[in-house]
Structure 1
Amino acid sequence: MSAITVIGGKASEDLARKLAKKLKASFVSTELRVFPDGESKITISSKPKKGKIIVVNSTYPPVDTNLLQTLSLIAKARQFSNQIICVIPYLGYARQDREFLPGEIVTLSVIAKLLSSAGASKVIVVDMHSMLGLNHFTIPVRNVSAVPELANHLKKMRLKNPLVVSPDLGGKERAKEFAKFYGTDYIALQKQRDRKTGKVQIMTGNLDEVKGRDLVLVDDMISTGGSIIKATQFLKKQKCGKVFVACTHALLIDNADQKIKKSGVSAIISANTIPGSTSVVDVSGVIAKAI
């Protein structure tokens, strides 16, 4: 078996180190310097060995900066190997996978072209927002799920008669999968979002089945937390027990974690696709398996 080198971008250094350990690969760190005008200058700390190179970097905010750094690392890695697996645990722009309103640009399709032009031969992402997004890639792309790991973590927390809840119908399949790994049942709320203003409304009527039960609200990502807060307020009115939130990508923009806790959520559990205080679930194992 040829040597494997993992290059860890600054946005995912800890996860990249864990992945290198799981793959028994050599690890190359990166040095980053940001100039006063915002330009990034990246230097790899050592020369990768001949063989497969895995570049690991998430593209969470600042999205464009982290994206450009990822592309730069891929291009650098291409100088040493033609086998470049690019692991983007959290892929920014994944929600822009279709034209919702006339004239909108499907930015994900632009990102897919950039990744392959930079030299990636394969891309691995974790819990892509929608499987439709995978169709924009011309190189092999693999989506892996953090759901089994998240469910295992929550299982250890000994919840009271737990019920898995999706904050909207779009996440119904995710909630179903989570409930299957957890070994319980699930429901999905009906939500309406105004495409122009982004305002969220819960359309579901009264729910007797949540009464007295601890709930796990499951989502792929939490940005501002608007949907989670609305769902929690609604569920608390239905006299449920404690509410826990499980998501893969916790962006938590503008102190969203504090706002979510204020609405009545006991704890937020997320994966380490985005580093932060809630990212207690490690996905290096599922990524290593996919590689």
Structure 2
Amino acid sequence: MKVFSHDSAGNKSLINYDNFTFSGGEEHIRFHSPSLLEVVKIEIFERLTDSSKIIRLMMAVDALKRLTSENTPIELVIPYFPYARQDRVCVEGEASGAVVMANFINRLNFSKVTIWDAHSDVSPALIHRVINIEQIALLKQCEELSSRLTNGELTLISPDAGASKKTLKISEQFNGVPEVIQAHKVRNLKTGEIIKTEVLGNVEGKNVLIADDICDGGRTFIELAKVLKNEGALEVSLFITHGIFSKGLDVFTGLIEHIYTTDSFKAANEFKNNTNINLQIIEM
């Protein structure tokens, strides 16, 4: 977690703090600042990727409000919104994770909350005073990828129906130059396993770019890349906003040549390279 103060002249400064976890599991935080009473705004940047960080955020907000007598607006930047994929209750007895997390953030009463490329329209609708930075704005920060799309070097592949709207928006932002081809996957409803992947267009002899918001283990993209290669695609690239890559990058070897992602889920230095894959991290 990084915490910054902003003064009236527009200067941004890092606020130092100590934190540790007690033996009983309780999180502790203490800020080291002589005075924050002249600060006009405080900004917190955090990747909420585990439960301890969520508790630490809550402690930080309480401490900062006490230091400022609750008179200074506090903004939150969480590039990856946790529980975004749990935006509906599919089985009776489950919780709606997105609702729970949004309610937690709302209770902290931030003056603004910034997230990147929300998984669906549900999360932004739940969070108070939210700014959702769209995927296309993040993609355009990568000069190489933007140039390849502008020149029509890449055909866009939408991996499933859920990604169609975002994929079409990418093409529109490049004046419709990149062709868009829809893919379709069939799952076993009991196990969740992908049992069939179809590409609804001709990819023979083309360099293609699969675009989506989240890559966890990568099964969707592995199965799709196999079909694309079998149907004659020359080069397969992947643009993912939130690169979790819980199975590592080795699972894509021989299938995907280029991976583009942001530092939303983890810092650039935390990614493990693969000599067979050209990995580019878009740092914001």
Q: Under TM normalisation by the shorter chain, which class is it?
A: 0.7 to 0.9
Q: After superposition, give the CA deviation of every residue in 1:257-283 in whole Å (9 maximum; x if it has no partner).
A: 2112x2411121111212233562133
Q: How do residues 244-263 of structure 1 correspond to structure 2 at under 5 angstroms?
A: 244-255=237-248, 257-260=249-252, 262-263=253-254
Amino acid in the other structure paired with 1:140 = R
> Secondary structure at the residue paired with 2:103?
helix
| 1:269 to 2:256 alignment | no
**Gap change, CA 1:68 and 1:78, over 3 Å in 2:** same
In structure 2, C-alpha distance between the alignment counterparts of 1:36 and 1:224, rounded to whole Å: 32
Q: Which moved more, 1:35-44 or 1:160-169?
A: 35-44
> Amino acid of the residue matched to residue 236 of structure 1?
K
Structure 1 counterpart of 2:226, from 230, 233, 236: 233
User: Aligned in 2, Cα 1:73/1:192: closer, same or farther, shift over 3 Å?
Assistant: farther
Q: C-alpha separation between the residues in 1 aligned to 2:119 and 2:19?
A: 29
Residue deviations 1:138-180 (CA, integer Å, cap 9, x gap) = x222211242332452134688831011211100111112223
CA separation in 2, counterparts of 1:174 and 1:122?
Answer: 24
Instruction: Note closer, same or farther for the CA distance 1:152–1:52 as it changes in structure 2 (3 Å cut).
Output: closer
Matched, 1:85 2:78: no
Specify which structure has the higher proportion of helix.
1
Are positions 1:191 and 2:174 aligned together? no
Task: Give the alignment of 1:48-63 within 5 angstroms.
Answer: 48=36, 49-60=38-49, 63=50
Counterpart of 2:165, as a letter, is E
Give the 3 Å change call, closer, same or farther, for CA 65–279 of structure 1 in structure 2. Answer: farther
Shift of 1:111: 1.3
Residue 175 of structure 1: aligned partner: 167
Shift of 1:129: 0.7
Amino acid at match of 1:230: E
SS of structure 1 residue aligned to 2:217: coil
- Residue 122 of structure 2 aligns to a residue in which SS? helix
Alignment of 1:123-138 (within 5 A): 123-137=113-127
What amino acid is the match of 1:84? I
Please name the residue that 1:114 is paired with: 104
Q: d(CA) in 1 for partners of 2:107 and 2:170?
A: 36
TM, length-normalised to structure 2: 0.81
Unaligned runs of 5+ in 1: 1-8, 284-291
> Do the aligned partners of residues 242 and 279 (structure 1) sit closer, same or farther apart at CA in structure 2, a change above 3 Å counting?
closer
The 3 A distance-change label for structure 1 pair 70 and 175 is same
1:43 aligns with 2:43: no
Aligned to 1:221, which of 209, 214, 222?
Answer: 214
Choose 65-74 or 149-158, whichever is displaced more: 149-158
Count of equivalent residues: 261
The one-letter code matched in structure 2 to 1:282 is E
Q: Which moved more, 1:29-38 or 1:240-249?
A: 29-38
Normalization by structure 1: what TM-score?
0.79
Q: Which has the higher contact order (CA 8 A, sep 6+)?
A: 1
Distance of 1:263 and 1:38 partners within structure 2:
43
| Distance in 1, Cα, partners of 2:103 & 2:93 | 20
Say if 1:205 and 1:145 are closer, same or farther in 2 by CA, change over 3 A. Answer: closer
Question: Which residue of structure 1 aligns with residue 281 of structure 2?
Answer: 280
Q: CA deviation at 1:117?
A: 1.9
Q: Percent identity?
A: 21
Kept in 1, the 8 Å contact 2:28–2:59? The answer is no
Contact 2:197 2:227 in 1 (8 A): no
The verdict on how the C-alpha distance between 1:181 and 1:202 changes in structure 2, with shifts beyond 3 A counting, is farther
Measure the CA separation in 1 of the matches of 2:121 and 2:228: 29
1:103 to 90, 93, 102: 93
Q: 2:154 maps to what in 1?
A: 162
CA distance, structure 2, for counterparts of residue 181 and residue 152 of structure 1: 13
| 1:216 positional shift | 0.8
Gaps (5+ residues) in structure 2? 272-278
